[in-house]
Every structure is written in C-alpha cells, then in structure tokens.
Amino acid sequence: MGLLNMIKNQLIDVIEWPEQEPGILVHRFNRHDNEIKMGAKLIVRPGQKAVFVNEGRIDDGFDPGTYTLSTQNMPFLTTLMSLPYGFTSPFKAEVYFVKTTEQLDRKWGTPNPVMLRDQDFGMVRLRARGNYSYKVGIREEMISRFVGAQSDFAADSIEEQIRVKVISSFSDCLGELKIAALDLASQYDEISNTMHTKLTQDFTRLGLELLSFTLENISLPDEVQKAMDERASMGAVGNLNNYSQYQAANALREAANNQGGQSGNLMGMMLGTQMAGGLSNTLIQPQNASAQTTMPPPIPGQSLYFAVIAGQQTGPFNMAQLQEMVNKSEISKDTLLWKQGMPAWEKADAIPELTNLWGCVPPPVPGK
C-alpha cells in the first residue's frame, strides 16, 4: 500500500477553478499535501489569474491559458529531485485563483446624514448614495493581509471596509469643494471625479483597482427642500407688485360679472386685493428700498372709483381722471361706478359726489 500511494502521488494533476462562485474574489486550490507534481496541467480561464505561493511568498503568476508545469516555468518544482525523501517533497506550494473580472454595481450609501455648512441654509444634513466598480489586482498585500489561510475570500469581507472609507472621503470631499446646496444637483460629475481621485490610492493599498465611482443621488431634509421650492416659486412669480395687481384685476372682473351677488363678498375681495398689494410692497421694499413702485398710493382724502366699461372692470380712477373720461364721452351718467365703502355698484348720476362732472361739460357746438 505504501508503494502504491507513492506511485499515485506521481500522477499528473490538473489544477483549475472551473466553478466560480458569485462573490468569491480569491479561491485556494485544494491540493493533497500541497504538492505540485512535475508535468501538472494548469488551466486558467478567462477572467482568472493563477498565483503560486511558495513558502509564504508569491512566486509566479499565470494569465489565462493552459500550461504544463515544469522546472523551466516553475523553478521551485522539485518533485523528481525528492526521491531521496521517499517521494515526499520538502517544497510546499499553494495555488490561488484570483478573479480579475470587473465587479460591477457595488452599492454605497450614507447610513447616517452627513453635515454640510451651506451659505444659504446654514447647517444642512444630507444623504447620498451611488455605486462603484473595481477589480482585484495581484498584490502580496491582498493574499497576506486578507486571504491568509482561508480557502475562499469573499467580496463582502472587504467591501464593508470600502464603504466606511467611501463615506469618510465623501464628507471630506463636500467640505473641500464647498458646493452650495442649491447647486449640488448640477455637480454630480465633479463630485464623482473628485471621489475617484481620492479613493484610488486607498483601493491600491487593499490590492484592488478602482475602475469607476458614481454619485447617483443626494437627498436633502424635507424642510430644506420646502425652502428651495418656495424660493423657486418666488422666482417664477417675479415682480410681486405686478402679480398682486394681476390678482386684483381678476377679482374685480369676477365682481363685475356677478353684480347681483352680496356686496360683502365684493368688499371682501377689494380689501383682500389691497392687503395683497400692501404685502407685496412690504416684501419688495427691503430688497430694493430705492426702487420706484409702479403704482403709488392714493392721495389722502381722494376718492378712487372703479368703472364698468364695455362690460369690463376698469380703474381705479381719481376725480381728475373721471372728469377727463366724461369730457371724452368714455363714461356717461348710466355708467356703473363703485368705490370702497359703497354697498353695490351704482349709476354715475346717482352718486352725489359725481354730479358736478357733467356740469362742466360744454354744450354742443352750434350747427353740429
């Protein structure tokens, strides 16, 4: 039995890793007594690289292909020279198969919010997520530091450490770039490129090669997003004074089309319009105190009337403007007028304050 076992140990072996398990980066070939026989066949498939470790030191590496091992390509193989030792070679070697394919779509994210000092919103908490890809390099650090005596080394064993480093580098990156919260969405590519540069050396020290790094999304707290939406809405409205006038015109047009309605509704709309105009002037004035308003306030004590002309609400008009409109026959005694304090629209000749307007109209030219 002893002689038969020695003969079996001299048979040519096939060294390969045919079934690659998902998530395994490095696989140690299970070899009886770690002996490599002279003339053994080594099969390295695409996406693999074979590494021989002799006495704890990386000795030789083989790219994809089929090899017949000999002392010419593996100088430390000395099985035939071990006959004096009873066919038990004193040279032990291990074979590691390294997966060299790109590890795609590896996820990263911030489990806790990252603090950002922003010039518009102060301290802001944000979250981010994205993905990266890498491949394993043939480095002694990978096998000596991480693989060791394990038969398989999985990606999960190192990617958790990678995620911690990514989050730390991401916080530093935002601090260095000083990008405003309002501009973050337009700077994803710049942030990704900066992160790729910062992380390349860290991956190299782990025996890995960083191939790509992508920032997919940055999310801000709800209160910051609400403030950003309100700022965007103000920008869309533009001039608040003009906007309040537009609202007032719409309200008065509705009142003119519904003359039979309750007067209290009309007065409420008028008061609301005036309040809106006053609010817009208050908001605009601190931003540009020297700017001229498009509609100055009425002269104290002067009446302002709204008129229904051609079925449309117009005005308000002061007494001088009404007199000019009477002279041009733009309004008549039957024109409906209204001012603040009146319960409803009334004809012009029914308003005592306006009776003198027609007393100033010259008589028709003789012969006309």
| Domain spans, the chain | 2-99, 103-221, 238-283, 302-368
Q: Are strands 41-44 and 14-15 parallel, antiparallel or unpaired?
A: parallel
The rounded distance, in Å, linking the Cα atoms of 174 and 118 is: 10
pLDDT of residue 232: 59
DSSP 8-class letter at 183: G
- Tracing tokens 């089309």 back to the chain, one arrives at 257
Peptide bond into 316 cis (omega under 30): yes
Quote the tokens at residue 88: 């038990």
Q: What pLDDT score does 187 carry?
A: 92
Q: Angle at Cα 324 formed by Cα 319 and Cα 326, nearest 5°?
A: 95
**Which residues are within 8 A (CB) of 166 and not within 5 positions of it... i.e. 6 or more apart?**
108, 132, 195, 199
Q: Give the DSSP per-residue string, 23-42.
A: TEEEEE---GGGPPPTT-EE
Q: Tell me how crowded residue 336 is: count the other CB atoms within 10 A of its CB.
A: 18
Is the CB of residue 96 less than 8 Å from the CB of residue 51? yes
Written as tens digits, the pLDDT of the chain (368 aa) is: 455 454 444 454 788 998 778 888 888 887 766 566 767 889 999 999 888 877 667 777 888 999 987 766 665 554 434 444 444 343 457 888 888 899 999 999 998 888 888 887 788 888 999 999 999 876 656 666 666 667 788 888 888 889 999 999 998 998 888 888 888 888 999 999 999 999 999 998 888 899 999 999 998 877 776 766 666 565 555 555 665 666 666 666 666 666 555 444 544 555 455 544 554 454 444 444 444 445 555 555 577 888 888 888 888 888 888 888 888 888 888 889 888 888 888 888 888 888 888 775 555 566 65
Q: How far apart (Å, rounded) are the C-alpha atoms in residues 243 and 81?
A: 98
Could you tell me the sign of the dihedral formed by the alpha carbons of 264, 270, 276, 279, in that order? negative
**Cα separation, 76 vs 60, whole angstroms:** 10
The DSSP secondary structure of 220-232, one letter per residue, reads --HHHHHHHHHHH
133-160 tens-digit pLDDT: 999 876 656 666 666 667 788 888 888 8
The amino acid that residue 237 corresponds to is: V
Structure confidence by residue, pLDDT tens digits, 198-241:
999 999 888 889 999 999 999 887 777 676 666 656 555 555 56
Q: 109-116 — which CB contacts under 8 Å span 24+ positions?
A: 109/163, 110/167, 110/170, 111/167, 113/221, 114/167, 114/170, 114/171, 114/174, 115/171, 116/174, 116/175, 116/181
0.85 exceeded by pTM = no
Architecture of domain 302-368: 2-Layer Sandwich (3.30)
CA distances from 118 to 115, 124, 174, 175, 182 (A): 9, 7, 10, 10, 9
Q: Which two tokens stand for residue 290?
A: 């020297």
pLDDT score for 131: 95
Q: How far apart are the first and last CA of the chain?
A: 145
- CATH homologous superfamily of 103-221 equals Band 7 domain (3.30.479.30)
